[in-house]
Chain A
């Protein structure tokens, strides 16, 4: 799992307002990234309450949803990301 050595991991987290689940997901994601992907990630947080058309555009149904846009293949994780190991495995990035 070392294909992403020089390519940064691009992650988009879709949330809807400041719900406890959204906040938990943001917190968990920050923690995972800083602990395991330090320096080689880009995170964007999208609030669908403000931009609902993006939900349609990206096919988002559940909140929160984390999308790994790069490197391909695209992966989606829904939930508050409370299990770090699972998140890393699913993102197929260096753990």
Chain B
């Protein structure tokens, strides 16, 4: 019916992107995989979305499960299959064969199956059909030759009817399906896989074959959760990253100050490395908090701490993340690294980022992954996430637990990062002190100082560096040095005061001496005056006496008076 590549969207998140539109319209597609890998769900999602979103009614032909079970199974994923059945947009045809009550005597064919399918298809005008799983017929009928011929005829019939079909098949040893259904279906073959590595299961999807169209050939992780079936294409997107000129605050004013102009560029990837307890998570939370304060959305992906724990811990340094969580600006997702495989983690992260559309994403810590997987795989995963975030202009904050104080990550991420803050916790003189160093900040002039990093109830502060004689000092060494300096200063000051005092005293003494001398002079003068006055008095007295004598002697007086002179 359709030549070329008309496609029917499956509505499965990610899958339609991967196949550039969906499954080939009017052709059968084989979906194969081992038990429990999601074949039936893939098929029912395809059918459900066709009926619901694309106005393409569908027939679900089940050879195994009962219709009620199928409805119940997808009900938990929010698919109202029963509603569509009631509207005659989906029909479930249950083909039940109990080999125990059937005997085969002579020649037969499956014409009745065809008639039933045709009847069902015509009844609701179906455009889509699912056969789940046709291989059950092989256990019901003992004549494989007849069966193979009939299945071939069935596929021809499906094509001729122009039905977009999904046929599921159980994975066989060394072949895609146990009964080699792939030989009948040559248009599109999808392989679902469910692998367990290191006790972690990963579902993967691979398009083995898709005739007449370009498609991704990688294995893509897929997910079955409360939102149904989603394929998560995780491809490297090259370096077409968005570039921003605006700066965003780190939430720590002192750190912004170290980055001249205030903070990192938007869309940067910032790595925070440090040993245990060096304040990585706290700093990351401050960045998330700053984003929320700017009115942006932040996504916090934690692999170690739970939401409640982080909120509590951040309260102790004066930051309330609870309110952001409440009003939906901050989303906190905590998962154990071992809960999923790496790819699945990546896929889920990308999906959450795609849904929540945050401006800032925190991954805390990325080193949690290195325990559960191969280093090169971790690197690939992180490269992909960095790529993804950059190309979407999302600022990324990664924390990384380093076992040793070194400017290197075992995840080999250093070169990917635009900004790198090294948090140290160094032992000196019997105590540990937190320090922060801006190792790298692409495109931003930044301080080269190692600052002391102090967390208190008023937040995070970076103390001005104390540049003593022996280099920058921190902690009690710093306090010691400061105290010593204070002491020296005090001594110096008191010395000055003492000298000043001395001078004043000396001056006072000199002045006193001057006073004393002055007093002497005054005394001498007084003495002199006294002598002079005494002399005067004496002379007067003597003159008076002489005059009196003269008067007493009469005429002799003048001679006597003369003698006396």
Contacts and interface: CB of A to CB of B under 8 A. Distances in A.
Interface of A: 14, 16, 19, 21, 24-25, 28, 48-49, 52-53, 55-56, 59-65, 73-83, 86-87, 90
| For the complex of A and B, 6 pairs with smallest distance between CB atoms | A79-B106, A80-B106, A52-B119, A82-B106, A63-B111, A79-B105
Contacts of B109: 21, 62-63
A76 B103 contact: yes
Interface string B39-77: 000000000000000000000000000000000000000
Interface stretch (B93-101, B184-192, B378-386): B93-101
Interface of B: 93, 95-97, 101-113, 115-116, 118-120, 140-141
Nearest to A16: B111
Given A49-B115, A55-B119, A80-B108, 5 more contacts: A61-B110, A62-B108, A77-B102, A78-B141, A79-B108
21 contacts: A16-B115, A21-B109, A25-B106, A28-B106, A48-B115, A52-B115, A55-B119, A56-B120, A63-B109, A77-B102, A78-B103, A79-B103, A79-B107, A80-B106, A81-B106, A82-B105, A82-B107, A83-B106, A86-B105, A87-B105, A90-B105
Contacts of A76: 101-103
A20 B108 CA distance: 10
A74 B101 CA distance: 8
A10 to B, nearest CB: 16
B107 to A, nearest CB: 5
A61 B107 contact: no
A21 B110 CA distance: 11
A52 to B, nearest CB: 4
Contact of A56 (B93, B97, B110, B111): B93
Contact of A62 (B101, B113, B118, B119): B113
B106 A60 contact: no
Contacts of B112: 14, 16, 48, 55, 60-63, 65
A18 B173 CA distance: 41
Contacts of B108: 21, 62-65, 78-80
A21 B120 CA distance: 24
Contacts of A19: 111
B105 to A, nearest CB: 4
B103 A61 contact: no
Contacts of B118: 52
Nearest to B141: A62
Contacts of A87: 105
A75 B111 CA distance: 20
